[in-house]
Amino acid sequence: VIKRNPGAPLMKLIAKYSTTTGISRKTVTEYVKDLQLAGEIVIKISKVYIAEKEG
């Protein structure tokens, strides 16, 4: 669930899946204000997360 401020949960997901996604914390920090890119990152990570949960 993405809340009003995607920054904090996004950073947590980045920390968890940075090696899987190849997205660095710096990239997120620099571009989190770009909602389209942030959304794409969230979708990418969400797919990884969902895939892991479903096994």
pLDDT averaged per 10 residues in sequence order, the chain, 55 residues: 58 65 64 67 78 76
Q: Confirm if 17 and 46 have CB atoms less than 8 A apart.
A: no
What is the pTM (predicted TM-score) of this model?
A: 0.35
pLDDT confidence of residue 54: 77
Q: Taking Cα atoms as reference points, which of 54, 33, 32, 53 lies closest to residue 16?
A: 53
pLDDT confidence of residue 34: 65
Distance CA 29, CA 54 (A): 29
52 phi, psi to nearest 5 deg:
-65, -45
Distance CA 39, CA 48 (A): 14
